[in-house]
A and B are shown apart, each in its own frame.
Chain A
C-alpha cells in the first residue's frame, strides 16, 4: 500500500542525495518525492510517497530517522490530511478544439497558462485522483508533454506534522 511520509530535513546540500541513496540501496520504491523550503529557511520539507507493506514502511521510517540531517519523519497516511499535486499538461489544441478543452479545464477548475498556435498548457492542482482524471480527459486531444510535482501534504486542523508523537 502507498504511504505518505512527511519528512523534515535540514536545508543543506547533499540531503536529497542522502535520502535518494538510502531508498535505492535498501531497495525501497519511491512513488513520488516533493521537496521545498519550509516557513523556517533552515529546514526543508519532503513529502515522500512510498509503496510497501507495514514492515517496509516501518524500516523506511526508522532508516530515515537515522540520517543525521533528518529531523522528523511522520507517516501521515492514516491521519486526516490534505494533499495536492500540481500538473502541467501541454495538449494538442487546434483552434477548433479550444472550446471543448476550455470546458474540461473549467470543470476541473484548472487554468490555461499558455496558448500556442496549436497547443495549450494547462495547469491543474488537486489530489492524485483529480490529476489523473484531468489527464485522462485531455488524452483524446493528444498530450504532448506532462510534468507533475508529486504529492505534497499537510495535516488537517490545528495539529502540525512535527508535533511529537510517541515512537514506540
Chain B
C-alpha cells in the first residue's frame, strides 16, 4: 500500500493514525531533532528510504558505509549533537563496523540504523544477512534488534538517550525489513526508563573536597585534560580553574581544543609524540589532575614510570576508568563540567606555583618542537604550521592517522573545543576525508581543513564524490611522502631500516588529476615558498580544494617516546637530563 492510499483509507475510518515502521523511524528522528543523516541505501532499507523521501531530514549520500559512520561521528564531534547514519543489512552493516568502533573508542554519540532481513528469514543465512548486533556487541555502547513495531519508537528514544548521556558512545538499531513495513500507532515516547542505566552518578562531595585540598597543597600541580572536557562542554570551567590556580595544562590528542593552545600555560600534547616540555612536566609534577582522560598507553608510556612523583586525581564520568590503567589517589566520578564547578567552589586557598611555572617555561624555551625547513625539500611540519598561521587556529581540522596526524597535533594550535577532529583511540586510517564531510555538513559556515596522508586518503578517497555532490568547501591538505610514513618510521627506528611494504610511491595516483576528475580544484606544491600562496588560493576558493604537498619522504615525527618507554626518555628531542625512580605501588 502506498502512503497516499493509506492515509485516505485511514481518514475514512477515523482510526488513530497508523504509520509504517519506516515512517515511525523518520518521525522519531524528527522528534529527536535530527536534521541530517549520513547513509547508503540497499535492499533491506528500501522502506526506510521510501519514508525518508517524504521527510525534510537531509540525507547525505556517501560512497561507502564506512564514510557514513565516520561522517556521523565527526558531525557529532563538530556539533555536540548525536550523529546518525543508515546502512542496509549484511555488507552495508558490516561496512559500518570500523566507523562504529572508532566512535566507541573515542566516546562519540552516534546512532546507527541498519536494515536486517525479514524476521522469518533471520538466522537462516539469508541473502545479505549478517548478525550485526552480535558483531557490534563489543564496539557499541548498546544495541537493539527490534522485533516488534510497537516498541520501535521507544527503542529509538532509548538509543538517543544512551548515545548522548553518561559516557557517550555509538548505539546501533537493527531493523528487520518486514518490521519497517508493519503498521503501528506512533506515540511520541515519554520519559525513557532503563533500569540498569544511570547516566549521572551522584557526586561524591567528600572526594571533591579531598581533590580541592590536594590541589591547594600541591607545589607542582599539572592538569591533564582529555576528550571528556570537550564532551562535557567543560572548557570554560577548565579555563576558570587554570586562571584561579595557575596550573599548567597538558592535553591528550582527544583533549586538543579543550584549552586554548596559544595560552602561556598550555603545554600541548603529552605522550609518545607529545612536546618535551609537556612530558617533562608530567614527569616532575607532584599533582596530576586527570580530567576526562583514560590514561591511554600512547599518552602515558610506561605506566610504572608515569608521573612518578605525582599524587593522581582522576575525574571521569565512567567509574570503570578510575584506576583502570593508572591507580588514582583520588577518584571522582562525574560529568567533568559538574565536578569542576564543585571543585572550584570547594577550592579555598590556591597554591603558589610561580617557581613551577618558571620551571615549565624554562623547559619550553630549552626544548621546543623543532624541524629544519631548509631551502629545498618541503617539510610537512612547515606546511601544518602555515595552515595554522593562515587560519589563526580558527579552522576545524580533521586528520587521518599516522605521521600527518601527529604533525597536525604538534604544529596546529587549537584555540577552541570541537575544532580538532581526529581518530584517537582506534587510529583509523581514512578517517580524515569522511570526517571533514561530517564536520562541514554540521558546521557549514566554518573553514574545514582535512590534513591527510597519502596512505590514509586512499582508504576512503571515494568520498571525494560526496564532497563534490554536496559542494562542500572542504580544503584537503595532503602531506604526500609516498610512504606509510609512521610505519616506515618505526621500521627505521626499531626494525633495522627494513622497509617492508611501506613504499606507496609506485602506482600513483596523480592526486591533482584525481581531484579534478571529481570536479574539485587541486594543485601540487613542491617548494617551501609556494606553500603560503597555494594555501591562500585554496582558502579563497569558494569550493573544495585539494593541495598535494610533496613533502620530504623520510621525515620523522619527533620527539618520540619509544613504545613502553618513559615519558622523559625521548628520541629526537634534546637529551633527557635526568632519570626518574619507578612509581611506587
Tell me which of B145, B162, B204, B320 has the highest count of chain A C-beta atoms within 10 A of its own C-beta.
B320
| Cβ contact within 8 Å between A62 and B196 | no
Question: Assuming A62-B319, A167-B319, A168-B204, is B138 touching A68 (CB within 8 A)?
Answer: no
| Cβ contact within 8 Å between B319 and A10 | no
- Shortest Cβ distance from residue A30 to the other chain B in the assembled complex, whole angstroms: 16
Convert A145-168 into 0s and 1s, putting 1 for each residue whose CB lies closer than 8 angstroms to a CB of B: 000000000000000000000011
User: CA separation between A8 and B524, bound complex, in Å?
Assistant: 61
Question: Assuming A68-B196, A70-B196, is B162 touching A17 (CB within 8 A)?
Answer: no
- Note all chain A residues with C-beta closer than 8 A to B134: 17
- Note all chain B residues with C-beta closer than 8 A to A69: 196
- Shortest Cβ distance from residue A8 to the other chain B in the assembled complex, whole angstroms: 8
User: CA separation between A66 and B480, bound complex, in Å?
Assistant: 42
| Cβ contact within 8 Å between A10 and B195 | yes
Judged by a CB distance under 8 angstroms, whether B294 is at the interface is no
Kindly report which residue of chain A lies nearest to residue B206, judged by CB atoms.
A168
- Note all chain B residues with C-beta closer than 8 A to A117: none
Convert B223-262 into 0s and 1s, putting 1 for each residue whose CB lies closer than 8 angstroms to a CB of A: 0000000000000000000000000000000000000000
Judged by a CB distance under 8 angstroms, whether B564 is at the interface is no
| Cβ contact within 8 Å between A14 and B133 | yes
Judged by a CB distance under 8 angstroms, whether B127 is at the interface is no
- Shortest Cβ distance from residue A96 to the other chain B in the assembled complex, whole angstroms: 51
- Shortest Cβ distance from residue A16 to the other chain B in the assembled complex, whole angstroms: 11
User: CA separation between A25 and B138, bound complex, in Å?
Assistant: 8
User: CA separation between A9 and B196, bound complex, in Å?
Assistant: 8
User: CA separation between A18 and B133, bound complex, in Å?
Assistant: 10
| Cβ contact within 8 Å between A21 and B162 | no
Kindly report which residue of chain B lies nearest to residue A13, judged by CB atoms.
B145
- Note all chain A residues with C-beta closer than 8 A to B324: 59
User: CA separation between A109 and B196, bound complex, in Å?
Assistant: 40
Convert A7-38 into 0s and 1s, putting 1 for each residue whose CB lies closer than 8 angstroms to a CB of B: 00110001001100110010000000000000
Q: Which of B195, B201, B319 contacts A71 (CB 8 A)?
A: B195
User: CA separation between A123 and B556, bound complex, in Å?
Assistant: 69
Which A residues, 32 to 70, have Cβ-Cβ distances below 8 Å to chain B?
55, 58-59, 62-63, 65-70
User: CA separation between A167 and B201, bound complex, in Å?
Assistant: 10
Which A residues, 64 to 118, have Cβ-Cβ distances below 8 Å to chain B?
65-72
Interface size for B (C-beta < 8 A) is 19
| Cβ contact within 8 Å between B162 and A68 | yes
- Note all chain A residues with C-beta closer than 8 A to B194: 68
- Shortest Cβ distance from residue B400 to the other chain A in the assembled complex, whole angstroms: 27
- Note all chain B residues with C-beta closer than 8 A to A66: 318, 320
Q: Which of A9, A21, A59, A71 contacts B138 (CB 8 A)?
A: A21
- Shortest Cβ distance from residue A43 to the other chain B in the assembled complex, whole angstroms: 8
- Chain A interface residue bracket vs B: 20 to 34
What's the count of A-B pairs with C-beta under 8 Å? 38
| Cβ contact within 8 Å between B323 and A58 | yes
User: CA separation between A17 and B133, bound complex, in Å?
Assistant: 11
Which B residues, 122 to 179, have Cβ-Cβ distances below 8 Å to chain A?
133-134, 137-138, 141-142, 145, 162
Kindly report which residue of chain B lies nearest to residue A64, judged by CB atoms.
B320
- Note all chain A residues with C-beta closer than 8 A to B54: none
- Note all chain A residues with C-beta closer than 8 A to B494: none
User: CA separation between A63 and B162, bound complex, in Å?
Assistant: 16
- Note all chain A residues with C-beta closer than 8 A to B204: 168
Kindly report which residue of chain B lies nearest to residue A66, judged by CB atoms.
B320
| Cβ contact within 8 Å between A68 and B142 | yes
Tell me which of B141, B142, B194, B319 has the highest count of chain A C-beta atoms within 10 A of its own C-beta.
B319
Which B residues, 177 to 199, have Cβ-Cβ distances below 8 Å to chain A?
194-197
| Cβ contact within 8 Å between A68 and B319 | no
- Shortest Cβ distance from residue B199 to the other chain A in the assembled complex, whole angstroms: 11
- Note all chain B residues with C-beta closer than 8 A to A167: 201, 319
Question: Assuming A10-B195, A10-B196, A17-B134, is B320 touching A63 (CB within 8 A)?
Answer: yes
| Cβ contact within 8 Å between B141 and A21 | no
- Shortest Cβ distance from residue A61 to the other chain B in the assembled complex, whole angstroms: 9
Question: Assuming A17-B137, A18-B137, A21-B137, is B323 touching A55 (CB within 8 A)?
Answer: yes
User: CA separation between A58 and B133, bound complex, in Å?
Assistant: 27
- Note all chain B residues with C-beta closer than 8 A to A55: 323
- Note all chain B residues with C-beta closer than 8 A to A10: 195-196
Kindly report which residue of chain B lies nearest to residue A70, judged by CB atoms.
B196
User: CA separation between A9 and B319, bound complex, in Å?
Assistant: 19
User: CA separation between A137 and B216, bound complex, in Å?
Assistant: 65
Q: Which of B133, B196, B318, B319 contacts A67 (CB 8 A)?
A: B196
Kindly report which residue of chain A lies nearest to residue B320, judged by CB atoms.
A62
- Shortest Cβ distance from residue B407 to the other chain A in the assembled complex, whole angstroms: 33
Convert B306-340 into 0s and 1s, putting 1 for each residue whose CB lies closer than 8 angstroms to a CB of A: 00000000000011100110000000000000000
- Shortest Cβ distance from residue B429 to the other chain A in the assembled complex, whole angstroms: 23
- Note all chain B residues with C-beta closer than 8 A to A168: 204
Kindly report which residue of chain A lies nearest to residue B167, judged by CB atoms.
A66
Kindly report which residue of chain A lies nearest to residue B319, judged by CB atoms.
A62
A-B contact pairs, 21 of them (CB 8 A): A14-B133, A17-B134, A17-B137, A18-B137, A21-B138, A22-B138, A59-B320, A62-B319, A62-B320, A63-B320, A65-B319, A66-B318, A66-B320, A67-B196, A68-B162, A68-B194, A68-B196, A68-B197, A71-B196, A72-B196, A167-B319
> Other CB < 8 Å A-B pairs besides A17-B137, A21-B137, 10 of them?
A9-B196, A18-B137, A58-B323, A59-B320, A63-B320, A65-B319, A66-B318, A68-B142, A68-B162, A168-B204
| 4 tightest Cβ-Cβ pairs between the two chains A and B | A62-B320, A71-B196, A68-B142, A70-B196
- Using a CB–CB cutoff of 8 Å, the interface residues on chain A facing chain B are 9-10, 14, 17-18, 21-22, 25, 55, 58-59, 62-63, 65-72, 167-168
- Using a CB–CB cutoff of 8 Å, the interface residues on chain B facing chain A are 133-134, 137-138, 141-142, 145, 162, 194-197, 201, 204, 318-320, 323-324
